[in-house]
Every structure is written in structure tokens, then in C-alpha cells.
């Protein structure tokens, strides 16, 4: 049986797409391989959202050059956000690659499936893409240029896919999109994300629903109400703020200001007091002064997020920021700002998680390694416990004994 190997980097959308591509290769008669060395088909699912991610992709492709030369029977393909419309230039830059295909698509040199190919044995917590692309064009972001304009999948398609995944063992789904809050605007009856959540909440056997990523400009009151009302929708939201400075938010073309963001967080917390919030910040954006950086630090201290994903700015060729704004914050200063926010958030998360010590939390068990089970609470806290029973896919109550900024440890109750 021929073998395939997929290397994935980047966001959850890439992970979901790689999972589906793997299932599709298996349907075509391939078998999964743990390394590129033994595979006839090697696929790289790439990310270029930051320079550091692009460097890793280029490195990987360089490393594969010799293997590709030594193995004429091997096919090397690349998908993900490295792939732009100009495949001629890509082929010139990476002659070792046989095929490039756009993110979200199937390889054109193989037989295309009639419908999405779902994993035979999905994870307990499965990903379900609901909208592709992005219409926002934030000044620093390459995604809209690579994934194109927003395209929603129909609610019927999504509901039947979730039912299928639940039938195959999934207990939780995370609905994915670059901006899930604009879901449905391009469909005939204009259903929104809240409508979709109401439908999914009725699926028997499905225990939990999450979704990401939200956009502060587009998140509706109706959606907040739906999260508060629906029992399967977890009390957890990912709401990227990017900066606490209004001047920087304007230069980023985010479409909201810090006051709007604060009001939104207050509304969410008033309606869903137990909500766990995570955010993204982008530091060292062109012209970001020390005072503007401090505004971001102040906002994070004030709003107390459970998780903060920190990134530093790197110009992405083709974006407005790369064309028009000088990348004028020195690398050492970007690094200092990164370290400052990292320490700040570590202290905040330490304090938030420490409050759970001695409490009982409910977790959905996702997997096990060496007798140590791993899963998450509804608030997306990672939890570990030891147990000799088969706990996969079960909701288990855990008494928390130890906490860190990143996870909880405890013992099963009963």
C-alpha cells in the first residue's frame, strides 16, 4: 500500500484541513506514515501569517530537497497560505515541489471527492470549518490574499457533517473560520452563527460546541445571547484585540476602538459571568510607541484574560502595512515587548487558575499518554489526571490539586 505523510503548521483551520486531506488520501488507498522518508506522497500544509512560520516552511522544503532527488517515485505537494495565484514563481523558487494547491481545496492531480471526506475515527474534540476566507483586510494580514473572500458553508451541510462526526465518536465540535461572526451573510437566507448554534445544540450525542475566531467589530448581541442560552455551547470565547491603542488599531484597520472592545467584554461578562476569554495581541506594529505599547499592557491587566496569544509584527509582502508602513521597531525592542507581555499574562493566568485549586471541575477527556489522561473544561482549561480506566470521550469530574498558568492537575471524583 502506498504511504502518505502530512506536515502541518499554523492555525486550527490548517489542522482541520490536514485531517480531512489525510482521510481523503486513505480513501484513495494510501496509508498514513510517521515520516516523509517512507512516504510516496508528502504534503506540506503551510502557514505564512508571520515571518517565523514562513521560515519554518522554507526550512522544511529545503530539508526535503535531497529526499525528493533520491526518491523519483515520491510526490511532494504544498498547500496552505504559502500558495498564491502565481504558482509559476513558486515552482521556480521551490523546484523540488511537484504540485501546489490552494488552501481549502483538494489536490487537482488526484481524483476529486464529491463531498467533504471526514475522518473515520475523528478526535473526541473535532474541528469543523464553517466559513472560508476573510473580507476584512486588516492592514498587516496576508490571509485574505491567500484564502480569498468569505464563503460560508450551508447550515444543512454543517449540521449533517456534525451528526456524522458524532456518529463516528466525536463529542465536541469547534466551528472554525477566520471570522466566524460574519458566517452566513453570503448565503440565500442569511443565517447567522447564532442560528447555526441553535440548530447544532439539538444534535443528540453532541456534548459541547465551541467556535473561533470572533471579530470584535462583527460580534452580535444575538450571538452573546445564544452562548448564554444554549447548554452545549461552552462558556469560552476567542476575541482578538490586537492592540490597546486606538491609533494602532486604526493603522491596523481593525474597524473598532479600545472603548468598543471594553464595552463588548463588559456585555459578555454581564450575560455570561463564568465566561473564559482569550485574546490575541500583535506587538511592535509600525510606529508603535512605548506609550501605545503600555496601553496594550494596561488593557490586558484590566480585562484579565484567561489566555493571550502573543505575536510580534513582521511585514507580509503584498499587504497594505508592508507596502506603506516602515517596519521601524527594532527586533530587540519587539522581543522586549513580547517578554513583558508574556510575564504579565503568566501572572494573570497563574492567579486565575490558582482560584480553581480545591474546586471540582468537569472535563471532557480527549486522550491519554502513559496512563495520564488529558482533556479540557468548558472554559478551555487543559486538565491532566491519572486513571487506569478507559476515560476517552467521557465527562469526568476532577478535584483540582495543582494549578499552573497553562494547566490543571487533579484526581477523578468517583
The packing angle between helices 193-200 and 155-167, to 10°, is 30
Three-state DSSP at 280 gives strand
Q: Which stretch in 3-11, 69-77, 141-149, 155-163 sits in contact with ligand SF4 by CB under 6 A?
A: 141-149
CB of 282 to ligand SF4, least distance (A): 9
Between 201 and 246, name the residue whose CB sits nearer to ligand SF4: 246
Between 97 and 299, name the residue whose CB sits nearer to ligand SF4: 299
Which of 159, 170, 142, 243 is CA-nearest to residue 197? 159
Q: Are 165 and 128 in contact (CB under 8 A)?
A: yes
Alpha helices by DSSP H, 28-140: 51-70, 87-93
The size of the interface with ligand SF4 (CB under 6 A), counted in residues, is: 10
Tell how far CA 166 is from the center of its chain.
21
Q: Are 113 and 132 in contact (CB under 8 A)?
A: no
Interface residue with ligand SF4, options 99, 137, 198, 320 (CB under 6 A): 137
How far apart are the C-alpha atoms of 64 and 66, rounded to whole Å?
Answer: 6
Q: Which stretch in 64-72, 75-83, 137-145, 256-264 sits in contact with ligand SF4 by CB under 6 A?
A: 137-145
Between 107 and 144, name the residue whose CB sits nearer to ligand SF4: 144
Between 82 and 400, name the residue whose CB sits nearer to ligand SF4: 82
CB of 131 to ligand SF4, least distance (A): 11
CB of 321 to ligand SF4, least distance (A): 11
Q: Which stretch in 2-10, 130-138, 153-161, 307-315 sits in contact with ligand SF4 by CB under 6 A?
A: 130-138
Please report the DSSP string for 249-265 in residue order. Answer: HHHHT-S--HHHHHHHH
Which of 287, 214, 309, 313 is CA-nearest to residue 256? 214
Which of 383, 343, 341, 389 is CA-nearest to residue 365? 383
Q: Which of residues 152-191 bind ligand SF4 (CB under 6 A)?
A: 178-179
Q: Is 138 in the site for ligand SF4 (CB under 6 A)?
A: yes
Q: Which of residues 190-229 bind ligand SF4 (CB under 6 A)?
A: 215
Q: Which stretch in 5-13, 51-59, 134-142, 231-239 sits in contact with ligand SF4 by CB under 6 A?
A: 134-142
Q: Is 144 in the site for ligand SF4 (CB under 6 A)?
A: yes
Between 10 and 144, name the residue whose CB sits nearer to ligand SF4: 144
Q: Is 143 in the site for ligand SF4 (CB under 6 A)?
A: yes
Q: Which of residues 56-115 bind ligand SF4 (CB under 6 A)?
A: none
| Distances 100 to 10, 53, 75, 82, 97 between C-alpha atoms, Å | 17, 18, 11, 9, 7
What are the two backbone dihedrals, phi and then psi, of residue 407, each rounded to the nearest 5 degrees?
-160, 175
CB of 109 to ligand SF4, least distance (A): 29
CB of 213 to ligand SF4, least distance (A): 7
Between 50 and 68, name the residue whose CB sits nearer to ligand SF4: 50
CB of 240 to ligand SF4, least distance (A): 7
For residue 212, the tally of other CB atoms under 10 A from its CB is 22
Q: Is 134 in the site for ligand SF4 (CB under 6 A)?
A: yes
Between 79 and 179, name the residue whose CB sits nearer to ligand SF4: 179
How far apart are the C-alpha atoms of 149 and 344, rounded to whole Å?
Answer: 36
How far apart are the C-alpha atoms of 391 and 41, rounded to whole Å?
Answer: 35
b/e sequence 44-65, b meaning 16+ C-beta within 10 Å? bbbbbbbeebbebbeebbeebe
Residues lying near ligand SF4 in the complex (CB under 6 A) are found at 134, 136-138, 141, 143-144, 178-179, 215
Amino acid at each position: 500500500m502506498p504511504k502518505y505523510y502530512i506536515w502541518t503548521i499554523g492555525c486550527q483551520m490548517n489542522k482541520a484541513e490536514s485531517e480531512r486531506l489525510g482521510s481523503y488520501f486513505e480513501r484513495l488507498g494510501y496509508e498514513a506514515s510517521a515520516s516523509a522518508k517512507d512516504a510516496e506522497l508528502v504534503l506540506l500544509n503551510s502557514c505564512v501569517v508571520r515571518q517565523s512560520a514562513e521560515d519554518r516552511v522554507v526550512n522544511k522544503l529545503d530539508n526535503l530537497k535531497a529526499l525528493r532527488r533520491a526518491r523519483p517515485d515520491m510526490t511532494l505537494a504544498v498547500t496552505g497560505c504559502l500558495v498564491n495565484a502565481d504558482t509559476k514563481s513558486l515552482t521556480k523558487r521551490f523546484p523540488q515541489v511537484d504540485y501546489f494547491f490552494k488552501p481549502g481545496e483538494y489536490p487537482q492531480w488526484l481524483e476529486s471527492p464529491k463531498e467533504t471526506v471526514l475522518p473515520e475515527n475523528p478526535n473526541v474534540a473535532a474541528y469543523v470549518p464553517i466559513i472560508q476566507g476573510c473580507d476584512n483586510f486588516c492592514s498587516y494580514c496576508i490571509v485574505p490574499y491567500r484564502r480569498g473572500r468569505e464563503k460560508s458553508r450551508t447550515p444543512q451541510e454543517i449540521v449533517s457533517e456534525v451528526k456524522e462526526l458524532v456518529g463516528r465518536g466525536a463529542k465536541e465540535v469547534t466551528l472554525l473560520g477566520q471570522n466566524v461572526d460574519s458566517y452566513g451573510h453570503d448565503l440565500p437566507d442569511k443565517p447567522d452563527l447564532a442560528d447555526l448554534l441553535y440548530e447544532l445544540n439539538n444534535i443528540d450525542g453532541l456534548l459541547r460546541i465551541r467556535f473561533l475566531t470572533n471579530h470584535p467589530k462583527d460580534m452580535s448581541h444575538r450571538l452573546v445571547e445564544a452562548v448564554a442560552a444554549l447548554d452545549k455551547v461552552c462558556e469560552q470565547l476567542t476575541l482578538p484585540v490586537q492592540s490597546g491603542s486606538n491609533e494602532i488599531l486604526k493603522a491596523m484597520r481593525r474597524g473598532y476602538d479600545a472603548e468598543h472592545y471594553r464595552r463588548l467584554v463588559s456585555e459578555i461578562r454581564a450575560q455570561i459571568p463564568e465566561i473564559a476569554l482569550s485574546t490575541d495581541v500583535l506587538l511592535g506594529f509600525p510606529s508603535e510607541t512605548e506609550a501605545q505599547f503600555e496601553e496594550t499592557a494596561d488593557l490586558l491587566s484590566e480585562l484579565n484574560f484567561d489566555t493571550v496569544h502573543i505575536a510580534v509584527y513582521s511585514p507580509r509582502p503584498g499587504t497594505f502595512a508592508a507596502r506603506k508602513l516602515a517596519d521601524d521597531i527594532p527586533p530587540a525592542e519587539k522581543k522586549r515587548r513580547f517578554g513583558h507581555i508574556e510575564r504579565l499574562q503568566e501572572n494573570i493566568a497563574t492567579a486565575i487558575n490558582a482560584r480553581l485549586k480545591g474546586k471540582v471541575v468537569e472535563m471532557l477527556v480527549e486522550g491519554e499518554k502513559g496512563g495520564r489522561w488529558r482533556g479540557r473544561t468548558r472554559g478551555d482549561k487543559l486538565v491532566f489526571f491519572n486513571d487506569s480506566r478507559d476515560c476517552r470521550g467521557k465527562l469526568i469530574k476532577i478535584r483540582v490539586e495543582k494549578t499552573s498558568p497553562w494547566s490543571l492537575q487533579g484526581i477523578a471524583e468517583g
